[in-house]
Structure 1
Amino acid sequence: MAEDLLLLDALGPRGSYRARNRMTIVDLAGTPVAELSIVPKLFVSRALAALHRAPDRPIEHKLAQLAEAGRIFAEEEILGLSLRQYEKLVSRISGVPITVVRSATAAISAAAIAAGSSVTQARPIGAVDEWRHPETKHGSALWCRRGNVFAVHAAGNHPGPHGLWLEALALGYRVALRPSRREPFTPHRVVTALRMAGFRDDEVVLLPTDHDGADEMLRGADLGMVYGGDDVVRKYSANTAVLPQGPGRSKLLLTADVDWREHLDTIVDSISHQGGVACVNATAVFVEGDPAPLAAAIAERLAAIPTLPPEDDRAVLPVQPLESARAVERYLQASAAGATAWLGGDGIVDELGDGSAALRPAVYQLDRPDARQAGIELPFPCVWVAPWSPEAGVAPLRNTLVLTAITGDEPLIDALVAEPTISNVYLGDHPTYWMRPGVPHDSYLGEFLMRTKTVIRD
């Protein structure tokens, strides 16, 4: 019944707004659970104008409110849902295993609490953050915003990225957030918690909208960040005002001077942790020598993962509506032509009996390091195991968010660290999903949002 559905209103510059145009949000089995207000382009334009007009407030006040919002997000009832009820709902909507959702929500809370210290890590050592600082009397670099309003087109595959854009608030930006229609509950809870903590309605807004409204958000903001696939990266690659967040294509490399058997736990964990849905999950593993024994060992480990509903505490695998799962399976089978299947070659869809299906792991062996499949990233534990040699060099490892390199070859390490298309290099037995507040994910967000200017005063 419609009256039983949760109502996810837009959160505009004058408070909550219930639009006439509403989208029904369903769970994995197709059962309606909520209605999401979809605001028109004109509403978006007016909301962005209100954010531009909003006066600045002292950063120290915002940092205290961010910390309080982190507490509220994790402890208080929002939209009638406790944290545990919200987490279960997100799992049933998105298909992300419940333990992954819990880890992500804890990380969001921690990111809000630590936002003040996190953003300082990006500031150049020679810059100050206040024109009144004593250093400016003698001339100093000042760390300044590149604008005032930041628009975010949020991801829906994982709650975790909602911890990142909070840094914009800590830097003094007003933020307009477009939630994913796939999973709007996390951004709605975050923005509500911020407002409960004291952020004004004209400082952070939630604008569920269509494509026209989404484009208007980016036009109306000073800077923007957009999550999506390769098409999104291509669309915005030339736009210096927009930061695209695309596929991670994270990888592992093991050279001949190490025994991969000693690192199998890390390899398998990098592939399957967080259900394999995150940009930091390993997509490809490169090994110097014969890749077959490693591929076989990975397949044996991944095959033992049970198929369970995502809200089960033991669940590891992501779940999608059955037809969506079938579409992923068809794409994988078409893409894998010419590769050797160690796991998943006969299908990856495992029905749960309620109209949804788990995506079972897949392991494929490639015959050369530059095979095109090594760059294919899919939203479940799917890995391409490829041979590598010193002659192949860095080229097959490019365009990587995280590269775990288990090697003692220091000249190779020098080349990997110097490669501009490899965002993060983890040396030794560190899983690709490792991260903590204060270290960059894909560079510091502050590098995009801020700039330095010289100030000298009497």
Structure 2
Amino acid sequence: MAHIPIIRPGGIYTSRDREMLFTLQGEPFSELSQTPPLLLTRIINELMAAPTQPLEERIAAIKRAGRIFAEETVAGESPEEYCRNCVQVSGLPLSIMQRSLAEMASFMQAIESEVQAQKPHGAIHAPKNIAEVDIAALWVPRGKTLAVVAPGNHPMTHVSWIQALAFGYHVAVRPGRREPFTPLRLIQSLLLAGLHPGHLAYLPCSHRSVESMIEAADLAIVYGNESTVERYQGQRDVLVRGPGHSKILVEQDLLPSHLLQTLVEAIAADGGVRCTNASTLLLHERRKGIALELARRLADLPLLPTTHPHACLPVMPVEQARKIRAFIDQVGADAQDLTASFTTNPPIVEFDDGTAVLRPAVLQCTSNKHPSFGAELPFPCIWVAPWHVEEGLEPLRHSLTLTLLTERETLIQEALLDQSIRRVCWGMGSSFSTIPGLPHDGYVGQFLMEVKTLIHFKGNV
């Protein structure tokens, strides 16, 4: 059975305290070393004491690591083996994992332009020889060490801490239990590519130990659910990333076929597990036909095991699927699942190996005031309700991505000025994907970096 170790600046460490990882079928798959609290603090101190590699070398290493991650055998694991390992424990379709290899490599290849896009125009990076500077606004890190409590829903969530490495941080990653293989492979690829070992640590640990990790580091990025957001919201040294609650408003009379298909992708791309996938659709009160056509198209998505070449939906243990569907039936008892009219498939399709896939759901409610309206679930599930002009922006707030199919420019302006809306898409496009150089949820550099003035009075020191 494979064992996943702790990685620290001094090398690999194997803990006697281990956690078992299981496949979707409930079979033991690998053991994950657990980092005790005292060791966590010691490793963070090791990161703090390590030298910071020059910017040019870090950038070059990240670029090389992107190719290694996507194309080479790393620690005895080929890219295909990595994808299959992730599939066995996470339930993401193999096709999504394979596609993410190229997506991650592309991001890492473009890391230099990504960093430059975030730098304020009036500032510069601190040069190697600071004595050469007369007067300058320097863009510098707010700290040295960064703790990352990583998620496991999709490989591309890890780009935030890759950017932190480019900014000069020494990063400790606590992998998500759902899928710990992506951050492990990324760290191994970065070390092979020449990133200084003092910049990285891979620290699997219990939920109770997470707090010790956050307290020991200068700054932290924490991914989690609503309770995680409530716990850390407002802390200047913690950037918290919670559910996306992404929304779409359609005020147009009719949508052509290609826009309807784009709407399907906004909900179901990458299995509907990304925080940018829409979970709420608000329709002008006279646009109900759009919801029916959307339900028909989502009902056509194949319900297949993860390794099938046409699989596009997440697979999970049967009991987990039943709990999710029971939640929908309970909180959405007065909502109509429109997909049921367009398929003979049941809400849960169970496979012989103890796993299941949930049929996409289009849940039509009579009002967007429904207490569970917009609940975000780990599969393509969209809550649909009427939108009235007099409601304005209010039901559209608190969105990571807000897509607006409307000609009301005042509504666009209001959305751009609303602090609870992080990204606005005017018109229908690939709202579920990222665009190089543009922020996902604000620039990570806004949190990690700051501008300081240096005035060098030469000859007077």
- Band of TM-score, shorter chain: over 0.9
| CA drift at 1:347 | 6.0
Corresponding position of 1:427: 426
| CA drift at 1:87 | 0.8
| CA drift at 1:136 | 5.1
| CA drift at 1:112 | 2.0
Say which SS state the counterpart of residue 208 (structure 2) adopts: helix
Corresponding position of 1:457: 456
How far apart, CA to CA, are the structure 2 residues paired with 1:216 and 1:120?
33
User: Any conservation in 2 of the 1:136–1:457 contact (CA below 8 Å)?
Assistant: yes
User: Any conservation in 2 of the 1:344–1:361 contact (CA below 8 Å)?
Assistant: no
- Within 5 Å, which residues of 2 pair with 1:13-162? 13-130=9-126, 137=134, 139-162=135-158
- Larger mean Cα displacement after TM superposition, 346-355 or 431-440: 346-355
- 1:111-130 alpha-carbon deviations (Å, 9 max, x no partner): 22222220121111111112
Unaligned 5+ runs, structure 1: none
- 1:96-125 alpha-carbon deviations (Å, 9 max, x no partner): 112221222222222222222201211111
1:301 is aligned to 2:297: yes
Corresponding position of 1:290: 286
| CA drift at 1:382 | 0.3
User: Any conservation in 2 of the 1:404–1:431 contact (CA below 8 Å)?
Assistant: no
Corresponding position of 1:383: 382
| CA drift at 1:374 | 3.0
Corresponding position of 2:188: 192
- Larger mean Cα displacement after TM superposition, 366-375 or 181-190: 366-375
How far apart, CA to CA, are the structure 2 residues paired with 1:85 and 1:329?
32
- 1:308-335 alpha-carbon deviations (Å, 9 max, x no partner): 1112120011111111111111111112
How far apart, CA to CA, are the structure 2 residues paired with 1:436 and 1:411?
25
How far apart, CA to CA, are the structure 2 residues paired with 1:291 and 1:284?
15
- 1:254-278 alpha-carbon deviations (Å, 9 max, x no partner): 1146647662111111111110111
Corresponding position of 1:448: 447
User: Any conservation in 2 of the 1:341–1:364 contact (CA below 8 Å)?
Assistant: yes
- Larger mean Cα displacement after TM superposition, 144-153 or 280-289: 280-289
How far apart, CA to CA, are the structure 2 residues paired with 1:235 and 1:125?
34
What is the aligned residue count?
453
| CA drift at 1:371 | 3.0
Corresponding position of 1:231: 227
The one-letter code matched in structure 1 to 2:41 is S
Distance 1:379 1:344, change over 3 A: farther
- 1:287-313 alpha-carbon deviations (Å, 9 max, x no partner): 112353222111111111111111212
User: Any conservation in 1 of the 2:170–2:199 contact (CA below 8 Å)?
Assistant: yes
| CA drift at 1:373 | 3.0
The one-letter code matched in structure 2 to 1:319 is V
Corresponding position of 1:9: 5
- 1:53-94 alpha-carbon deviations (Å, 9 max, x no partner): 111221111111111111111111123221012112212211
| CA drift at 1:205 | 0.5
The one-letter code matched in structure 2 to 1:110 is S
- Within 5 Å, which residues of 2 pair with 1:325-340? 325-340=321-336
| Aligned pair partner of 2:276 in 243, 260, 280 | 280
How far apart, CA to CA, are the structure 1 residues paired with 2:132 and 2:395?
47
How far apart, CA to CA, are the structure 2 residues paired with 1:64 and 1:261?
44
User: Any conservation in 2 of the 1:401–1:423 contact (CA below 8 Å)?
Assistant: yes
How far apart, CA to CA, are the structure 1 residues paired with 2:346 and 2:36?
42
User: Any conservation in 2 of the 1:250–1:432 contact (CA below 8 Å)?
Assistant: no
Unaligned 5+ runs, structure 2: none
How far apart, CA to CA, are the structure 2 residues paired with 1:419 and 1:225?
23
How far apart, CA to CA, are the structure 2 residues paired with 1:252 and 1:288?
11
Distance 1:262 1:34, change over 3 A: closer
Corresponding position of 1:348: 347
1:173 is aligned to 2:169: yes
User: Any conservation in 2 of the 1:141–1:452 contact (CA below 8 Å)?
Assistant: yes
User: Any conservation in 2 of the 1:373–1:384 contact (CA below 8 Å)?
Assistant: no
| CA drift at 1:431 | 3.0
| CA drift at 1:251 | 1.2
How far apart, CA to CA, are the structure 2 residues paired with 1:16 and 1:262?
51
| CA drift at 1:211 | 2.1
The one-letter code matched in structure 2 to 1:84 is E
- Larger mean Cα displacement after TM superposition, 423-432 or 97-106: 97-106
| CA drift at 1:377 | 0.5
Corresponding position of 1:217: 213
Corresponding position of 1:263: 259
1:246 is aligned to 2:239: no
How far apart, CA to CA, are the structure 1 residues paired with 2:257 and 2:71?
42
How far apart, CA to CA, are the structure 2 residues paired with 1:369 and 1:210?
38
- 1:182-216 alpha-carbon deviations (Å, 9 max, x no partner): 11111110111111112233210000011232111
User: Equivalent pairs: percent with the same residue?
Assistant: 39
User: Any conservation in 2 of the 1:109–1:163 contact (CA below 8 Å)?
Assistant: no
| CA drift at 1:135 | 10
The one-letter code matched in structure 2 to 1:195 is L
- Larger mean Cα displacement after TM superposition, 214-223 or 33-42: 33-42
- Within 5 Å, which residues of 2 pair with 1:362-373? 362-373=361-372
Corresponding position of 1:323: 319
Question: How high is the TM-score relative to the length of structure 1?
Answer: 0.95
Question: How high is the TM-score relative to the length of structure 2?
Answer: 0.94
Q: CA RMSD in A?
A: 1.9
User: Any conservation in 2 of the 1:254–1:260 contact (CA below 8 Å)?
Assistant: no
How far apart, CA to CA, are the structure 2 residues paired with 1:301 and 1:133?
60
